[in-house]
Amino acid sequence: MMQLNEFAEQVLSAVREKADGNFSVWTTTVHKNNGTSFVGITISGTENQAQPIVYLDGYYNMFLHSKISLKEVSDTVYDVIMEHMNYVPNIKITDLMNWNQMKSNICVKLINAEQNMELLEDMPHRFYLDFAVVYYIKFNESGDELETMDVKNKYLDMWGISEEELYRTGIENMEISDQVFFKNMKEILPIWLQKEDEPSFPMYVLTNASRYYGASVLLLKKELSKISQSLGNLIILPSSLHELIVLPENQYTGDCEACAEMVKNVNTSVVLPEDYLSDHVYTYNRDTQELKIAA
What stretch of H or E contains 264?
helix 256-269
Greater confidence (144 vs 65) lies with 65
Angle between helices 4-19 and 70-87 (to 10 degrees): 60
pLDDT at 268 over 70: yes
3-state secondary structure 93-124: HHHHCCHHHHHHHEEEEEEECHHHHHHHCCCC
Share of the chain above pLDDT 90, in %: 54
Q: What is the mean pLDDT of the chain?
A: 86
Backbone angles phi, psi at 130, to 5 degrees: -100, 15
**DSSP 8-state secondary structure symbol assigned to residue 148:** E
When mean pLDDT is compared across 57-71, 144-158, 186-200, 262-276, the lowest value belongs to 186-200
* Each residue's pLDDT tens digit, 136-157: 998 766 555 667 889 999 999 9
pLDDT band at 261 (very low <50, low <70, confident <90, very high): confident
* Each residue's pLDDT tens digit, 29-45: 888 888 899 999 987 65
Instruction: Report the chain's C-alpha Rg in angstroms.
Output: 21
pLDDT at 193 over 50: no
pLDDT at 194 over 60: no
Backbone angles phi, psi at 277, to 5 degrees: -115, -55
* Each residue's pLDDT tens digit, 244-260: 999 999 888 778 888 88
Could you tell me which residues are beta bridge partners of residue 71? Answer: none
Greater confidence (82 vs 225) lies with 225
What stretch of H or E contains 36?
none
Question: Are 283 and 233 a contacting pair, CB within 8 Å?
Answer: yes
Pairing of strands 106-112, 131-142: antiparallel
Could you tell me which residues are beta bridge partners of residue 142? Answer: 145
The pLDDT of residue 92 is 63
